[in-house]
Structure 1
Amino acid sequence: MKYSLQNIILEIHNKEDKISLQNKRLIDEAYEMTLYLQDLLLSVKKDIIDEGFKNDVDEIHFFRTIKPQLLGKLIYYNKLYRIETSCPVDTGKMYYNYFTTQFANLKREYSEHICNSEFYRYYRSGRTDRDHIYFKRGNLNYHDGLNSIVFEIDPSFSTFFDYKLARIISNELLYTFLLTKINPDENPDTILQRSESTKDVFWTDSKNALIELVYALYASGAISHGKIGIRKISLMFQILFNIPIGDLHHAFHRMKTRGGSRTAFLDQLKTSLEEYMDKEL
C-alpha cells in the first residue's frame, strides 16, 4: 500500500516541527496547518480514487488507521483556529470564562454523541470483528438513523465511520488543549512575567527541542530528586525563556513515533558538548 500510518504521521510531524521553529502565533500555526492538512488530504484522496486498494485488508487498514489520523488532525487545527480567532481577550476573567465554555461544550458533545455510542465502545475496546462493516466503503446501514453528515461525504473516499473516528481523535486533542487554557497549572501564558535581568534570555531552537529536554530532565529525576512533576519543570522553562510550549503530552507522543532518532535534540547536545570539549584540549 502506498500510504502507511508511520509515513503519514511522520509527514505531519515534520510540518508541525517546521512551523514550530518559526515561533509563530498559535492562530497562525493553526491556520497554516489547516491549509497544509487540507491539501494533503486532497492529494491522498486523489491517489486512492485513482489507484484503489489491492484488497480488503488494505482498504480496512486505510479507513481505520490512516485517514482518521489525517482527518482528525485537520478537524483539530481548524477548530483550534476558530476557537482562537473568536477569543474575546488575551487574559483575565473573560478569557478564562471563554475557554471554560469551550471545554464544557466539548464535554457535552462527547457525552451526547460519542461515549455512549456502540461504535465508540467498539473502538475503545480494540475490537476488530466488525472492521469489515465499519471500514469498508458501501456498507452503511441507514436503518441505524445515522448522522446527517453521512449524506455529505464522498462515498468513494469514506465509510462514514472513518469520519466518526477522526472526530474522536480531534476531540481528544482539543480536550488536552482546552485543559491547558483553563487550568492555571497547565497554562503558563498568564504568568510569563520576567525580570529585566532575564529579558534578553530566550529560546532559539524549536519548541519540540525544549520539550525533549524537559522530558529528559523529568525522566532522569535530575530536578528535586525526581519529586517534581513534568508540568512544573515545563513551567520553569516557559517562564525562563518566555515561550509557551503548548500541548506538552501530545508533542511527546509525536516524538515517540517520529522517524530516525527519537532523541534528536539530546543527541545534538551530546555531539556539540564533545566538540566543544575537543576544542578546549
Structure 2
Amino acid sequence: MNLKKLSEKLYAQVSEQLEETASIENSLEKFRSGLALVQKALAQLKIELSNNGFASQEEEIYFFKTGKPKIYSLLILITERYAIESSMPLLGKEKQVAHLESQLYFIDRFFRQNEFIFQYYRLGATDLDERYFTREGASKLAGFAEVPDVDPSFSTVSDYLFSKFMAYEKLQQSIRQEIEMRKGGEDAVHKNAFKDLKWTGDAVNMVELVYGVYETGQVNGGKISLSELMEFFGQAFQVNITGYFKRFADIKRRKSMSKTRYLDEMQQLVSKRIEDSDAWIPEDQRSRYRF
C-alpha cells in the first residue's frame, strides 16, 4: 500500500476510533486514549516511509500537505481541547466565556503570525508545493513563526503548520459554538427552535445519505472530511451514527439488487412527486413550470 492510501486509511480509522472515545467521561482518560490512537497511526506512517519511501514527488507533496497533516491535526486538536477544558473556570458563566474568547484570540494571533502560508492554505494554492512540502525544498526555508524543531526525515516546516491550521479551524468553530451556548444569545435561540427535530429512520440510511453528500462534494466545495459531515448530520438530527465505517461495510455486503437501497428509494419517490405534481397542470401550461 502506498503512503497516500495508507494515510487516508489511517485517518479514517483513527477518526472512527476517536468517536468511540467520546463516551469516556474522565477527561484525562479520554485525552490519553485519543493521544495513543493518533500516535500509533503516526508511528505506522513513519515506519512505512522509512521502509519504502515515496514513489514520486507528487506522492511526497500529498503526504506532507494533506495525508500526514490530517492525522497530526487530530493530535493537536485533542491536546488543545484538553488544555482548554482543564483550565476552564468551574464557576461563573462570564468567566467561562472570557476564557473561551481568550482562546479565540490566541488562535487568531497564530493565523496572523503565519499570514502568508495561512492564506496559501486557505486558497488551496499549489505553486510553492515543491518548496513547502518536499523534504529537500523545506530544508531551504526559514522564518516561520512558532515552529518547533521537526524530524527532517518525517516532516517539513509547512506540514506542521498545515496540521495546526486544520486543527485550529475546527477548534475555532467549536469554541464559538460553546460561547453561543453559554451566552444563550439570539443564535442559540434559533438553533434551539429546531431541537425537537430527530431522525426517526434507520441510522444506516443516514450513513448512506451522508456518503452520498460527501462523494458528490456538496458541502464546502468538497473540502470537508467524512467524519466532519457525519458529526454534523448526527448532531443536527440527534442520531447516533458512530461506527459509520462498520455500517458502510454492512451496506457493501447487501445481497439485494441494489446496495444503495435508501438513495434509490429517495430517487424513486422524488421522481414520483415530480410526475404527480405535473399531472394536474394543463398540457399547454406545463412548459411554464419546467426549470
Q: Which bin holds the TM-score, normalised by the shorter protein? A: 0.5 to 0.7
Q: Which residue of 2 aligns with 1:183?
A: 180
Assess if the C-alpha contact under 8 Å between 2:147 and 2:161 holds in 1: no
- Cα distance in 2 for residues equivalent to 1:36 and 1:86: 24
Deviation, structure 1 residue 14: 1.6
- The answer to whether the Cα contact below 8 Å between 2:3 and 2:54 also exists between their aligned partners in 1 is no
Structural mapping, 1:1-281, within 5 Å: 1-4=2-5, 5-20=7-22, 22-26=23-27, 28-89=29-90, 92-110=93-111, 112-114=112-114, 116-117=115-116, 119-140=117-138, 142=140, 144-147=142-145, 149=147, 152-184=149-181, 251-252=231-232, 259=245
Which string of whole-angstrom CA distances, capped at 9 and with x for unpartnered residues, describes residues 37-72 of structure 1?
122212221221222112212111111111000111
CA distance in structure 1 between the aligned counterparts of 2:10 and 2:63, rounded to whole angstroms? 11
Secondary structure at 2:70's aligned position in 1?
helix
CA distance in 2, matches of 1:62, 1:179: 31
SS in 2 for 1:53: coil
Mapped to 2, the partners of 1:54 and 1:81 lie a distance apart of 38
What code does the residue aligned with 2:133 have? F
Q: Tell whether the 8 Å contact from 1:106 to 1:171 is kept in structure 2 after alignment.
A: yes
Give the CA deviation at 1:129.
2.6
Deviations along 1:157-214, one digit per CA (max 9) or x if unpaired, are 01211111001001111101211221127989xxxxxxxxxxxxxxxxxxxx6xx69x
2:81 partner letter: L
Mapped to 2, the partners of 1:253 and 1:158 lie a distance apart of 34
Q: 1:29 to 1:147 in 2, by over 3 A?
A: same
Deviation at 1:130, TM superposition (A): 2.1
Matched AA of 1:9? Y
Shift of 1:148: 6.2
Over 3 Å counting, the alpha-carbon distance change for 1:88 and 1:136 in structure 2 is same
Match of 2:191 in 1: none
- Higher RCO by CA contacts (8 Å cutoff, separation 6 or greater): 1
1:179–1:186 Cα contact (<8 Å) kept: no
Structure 1 residues 86-132: Cα deviation after superposition (integer angstroms, max 9, x where no partner): 1221553222222122222222222x223x21x22222222223222
Q: What is the aligned partner in structure 2 of residue 227 from structure 1?
A: none
- Distance in 2 (alpha carbons) for counterparts of 1:143 and 1:131: 12
1:31 and 1:185, CA in 2 relative to 1: closer, same or farther beyond 3 A? same
RMSD: 4.1
Please say if residues 181 and 187 of structure 1, whose CA atoms lie closer than 8 Å, have aligned partners that are also in contact. no
Deviation at 1:260, TM superposition (A): 6.6
Unpaired runs of 5+ residues, structure 1, are: 189-208, 220-246, 272-281
TM-score (norm 1): 0.62
Letter of the 2:113 counterpart: H
Following TM superposition, by how much is the alpha carbon of 1:141 offset from its aligned partner in structure 2, in angstroms?
A: 6.0
Could you list the per-position Cα deviations for residues 219-278 of structure 1 after superposition, in whole angstroms to 9, with x for gaps in the alignment?
9xxxxxxxxxxxxxxxxxxxxxxxxxxx986723898xx64766989xxxx99xxxxxxx
Is the alpha carbon distance of 1:103 and 1:74 closer, same or farther for their aligned partners in structure 2, counting shifts above 3 Å?
A: same
The share of aligned pairs that are identical, in percent, is: 22
Q: Which amino acid in the other structure matches residue 110 of structure 2?
A: E
